[in-house]
């Protein structure tokens, strides 16, 4: 396993445009954009402190007599990994979802295929643009669909390198501190969270599905989105009332190079990585979302805020731990909410993590808080490592079962028969049931791997055949072209030849004519009639 200790969480800040309800505000000053992201400095975000803000008035109160008073215009300057300007589409530095993806996507996809666990998380107050950034819409698809498209494309390309990729998807939401499986069967979709000693917390019995192509993904995403808890609030017509986590798991099996380039050989390396795509519910103030009297909405809002404040505490402590590496690290309360418990590895463990902080252009208090949060996150380090396993180091004795000079399927059928007989014999002798079932499990494991290998071989050969077909098609086109060129050439030569023969004939005719004329003139001189 390769180690890369201490990679900082990558922090990106995005400001959204004014919403129609904000555009409609009558007071011009309340719809002035408070954020600037200078074109020449793509990492910088500048936040203007309005004179009306409580922050401004607090500072004024703290000003001791005699000290310089706060200027009318005060600005806060921040530096992040990227500052994404999506406020005004008429400006040169405007970034829509696909341009945003071009900036971050390749990095994410590379880490994922290199075997690292990856997490991409969108944070921000309600209606700041998290769902727009992550999911997008038909005209401007978000990061999640764009990432999946590229992953599926890359999966096909890797067949040429004898790498088989299996992509699986699961989709959950955390709603009122409870995990729901959004792709699960209709009735009971509630799941428990458990902790694996090595890989960390996970959701038990969550359903995952193989994704072969983009249509598979779209169908599953739509199914999950329909189940996700959303509601209309005064801040957002379709506000996410839950934290949503889509997890893609990629299993790459590399087959060794065999003697013949068409033979895929044995699987000799396996990498399993996952990518968590997280769209958080927005932090909100009851006063702003105006959900008074709606008990369900209030309970949701309180639990959303609770889990986000635990996330805040965890980030605070992780940031303090990273800043003081020599002092005893403080205990981080991941278990205080389901969200932080499930994100434990992504916040401090084996993960390359990216956090997108979405902000409103006109809400100073919330934006200020979000940017300060983002500043803390910048200092947090995770310890990602590529999850490679050399398969040759795993003792699989079942290889002995293979008889290379026999047809694979006949041989496997025989082996199954023999081992089933052996199992029966062992069951009736002194073998303990557990060791017998252990052997049986190993056999099943072996057969599953073998089936996977043969399936991939089939896919690989089909792919090679397609490639060859394409090459033949290209060559045929070339041959046709050369044939055509040849015909053209032959015609031209004929033309030139016939041209030059007629030219020569003309020339000879002219010569003959001249000679005849000369001879006639000479003859005239000897004409006796002319002489007298
Ligand atoms: N970058 C953007 N470009 C255009 N429209 C945007 C952008 N960001 C957000 N919006 C619009 O703003 C509104 C709120 O955005 P969105 O639903 O993504 O917010 P949210 O942060 O997910 O909110 P909540 O936490 O309440 O779910 C939507 O109508 C969305 O289309």
Q: Give the tens place of pLDDT for each residue, 502-530.
A: 888 899 999 989 988 888 888 887 766 65
Judged by average pLDDT, the poorest of 70-74, 167-171, 368-372, 508-512 is 70-74
Query: What is Dmax (Cα atoms) for the chain?
Result: 150
What stretches of 13-96 show up as alpha helix (H) in DSSP? 20-23, 54-62
DSSP per residue, 296-327 = HHHHHHHHHHHHHHHHHHHHHHHHHHHH-TTS
Nearest CA to ligand 1 atom 15: 129
> Is pLDDT larger for residue 488 or for residue 198?
488
> Is pLDDT larger for residue 219 or for residue 305?
219
Determine the distance separating the centroid of ligand 1 and the alpha carbon of 306, expressed in angstroms.
Answer: 22
Domain boundaries, the chain: 17-91, 96-391, 405-478, 485-528
CB of 282 closer than 6 angstroms to any ligand 1 atom: yes
Do residues 33 and 361 lie in contact, with contact meaning Cβ atoms separated by under 8 Å?
Answer: yes
What stretches of 85-210 show up as alpha helix (H) in DSSP? 97-113, 130-134, 143-158
> Is pLDDT larger for residue 306 or for residue 369?
369
Question: By three-state DSSP, how is residue 79 classified?
Answer: strand
Nearest CA to ligand 1 atom 1: 16
Is 70 exceeded by the pLDDT of residue 290? no
Residue in 86, 129, 360 to alter for ligand 1 test, most ligand atoms within 8 A of Cβ: 129
Residue in 236, 241, 286 to alter for ligand 1 test, most ligand atoms within 8 A of Cβ: 236
Do residues 51 and 72 lie in contact, with contact meaning Cβ atoms separated by under 8 Å?
Answer: yes
Do residues 194 and 204 lie in contact, with contact meaning Cβ atoms separated by under 8 Å?
Answer: yes
Do residues 344 and 334 lie in contact, with contact meaning Cβ atoms separated by under 8 Å?
Answer: yes
Determine the distance separating the centroid of ligand 1 and the alpha carbon of 84, expressed in angstroms.
Answer: 15
What stretches of 324-399 show up as alpha helix (H) in DSSP? 338-342, 344-348, 364-377
Nearest CA to ligand 1 atom 9: 129
Determine the distance separating the centroid of ligand 1 and the alpha carbon of 8, expressed in angstroms.
Answer: 27
pLDDT tens profile 126-164: 899 999 999 999 899 999 999 999 999 999 989 888 899
Question: By three-state DSSP, how is residue 240 classified?
Answer: strand
Is 50 exceeded by the pLDDT of residue 232? yes
Summary mean pLDDT of the chain? 82
CB of 130 closer than 6 angstroms to any ligand 1 atom: yes
Using alpha carbons only, what angle is made at residue 113 by residues 107 and 118, rounded to the nearest 5 degrees? 60
In the CATH scheme, what architecture does the domain 96-391 have? 3-Layer(aba) Sandwich (3.40)
């Amino acid at each position: 396993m390769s180690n890369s200790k201490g990679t900082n969480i990558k922090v990106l800040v995005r400001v959204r445009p004014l919403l129609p309800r904000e555009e409609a505000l009558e007071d011009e000053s309340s719809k002035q954009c408070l954020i600037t992201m200078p074109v020449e400095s793509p990492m910088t975000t500048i936040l203007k402190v309005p004179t009306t803000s409580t922050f401004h008035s607090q500072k004024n109160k703290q000003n001791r007599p005699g000290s310089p008073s706060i200027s009318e215009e005060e600005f806060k300057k921040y530096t992040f990994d990227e500052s994404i300007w999506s406020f005004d589409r008429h400006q040169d530095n405007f970034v829509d979802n696909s341009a945003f993806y071009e900036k971050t996507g390749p990095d994410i996809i590379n880490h994922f295929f290199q075997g690292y666990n990856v997490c991409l998380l969108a944070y921000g107050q309600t209606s700041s643009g998290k769902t727009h950034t992550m999911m997008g819409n038909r005209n401007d698809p978000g990061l999640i669909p764009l990432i999946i498209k590229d992953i599926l494309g890359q999966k096909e390309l890797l067949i040429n390198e004898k790498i088989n990729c299996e992509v699986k998807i699961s989709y959950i939401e955390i709603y009122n501190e409870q995990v729901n499986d959004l792709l699960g069967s209709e009735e009971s979709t509630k799941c428990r969270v458990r902790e694996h000693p090595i890989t960390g917390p996970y959701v038990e019995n969550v359903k995952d599905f193989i994704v072969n192509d983009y249509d598979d993904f779209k169908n599953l995403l739509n199914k999950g989105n329909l189940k996700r808890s959303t509601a209309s609030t005064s801040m957002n017509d379709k506000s996410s009332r839950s934290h949503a986590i889509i997890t893609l798991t990629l299993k790459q099996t590399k087959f060794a190079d065999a003697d013949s380039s068409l033979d895929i050989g044995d699987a000799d390396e396996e990498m399993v990585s996952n990518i968590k795509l997280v769209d958080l519910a927005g932090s909100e103030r009851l006063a702003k979302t105006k959900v008074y009297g709606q008990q369900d909405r209030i309970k949701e809002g309180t639990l959303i805020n609770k889990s986000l404040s635990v996330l805040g505490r965890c980030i605070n402590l992780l940031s303090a731990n990273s800043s003081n590496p020599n002092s005893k690290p403080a205990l981080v309360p991941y278990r205080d909410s389901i969200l932080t418990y499930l994100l434990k590895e992504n916040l401090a463990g084996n993960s390359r993590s990216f956090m997108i902080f979405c902000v409103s252009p006109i809400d100073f208090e919330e934006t200020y808080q979000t940017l300060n949060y983002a500043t803390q996150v910048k200092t947090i380090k995770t310890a990602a490592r590529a999850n490679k396993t050399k398969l040759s180091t795993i003792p699989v004795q079942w290889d002995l079962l293979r008889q290379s000079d026999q047809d694979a399927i006949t041989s496997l059928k025989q082996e199954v028969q023999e081992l089933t007989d052996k199992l029966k014999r062992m069951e009736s002798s002194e073998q303990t049931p557990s060791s017998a079932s252990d052997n049986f499990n190993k056999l099943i494991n072996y057969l599953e791997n073998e089936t996977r290998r043969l399936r991939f071989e089939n896919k690989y050969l089909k792919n090679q055949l397609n490639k060859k077909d394409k090459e033949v098609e290209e060559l045929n086109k070339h041959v046709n072209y050369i044939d055509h060129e040849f015909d053209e050439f032959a015609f031209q030569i004929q033309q030139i030849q016939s041209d030059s023969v007629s030219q020569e004939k003309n020339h000879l005719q002219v010569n003959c004519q001249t000679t005849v004329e000369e001879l006639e003139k000479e003859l005239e001189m000897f004409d006796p009639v002319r002489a007298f």
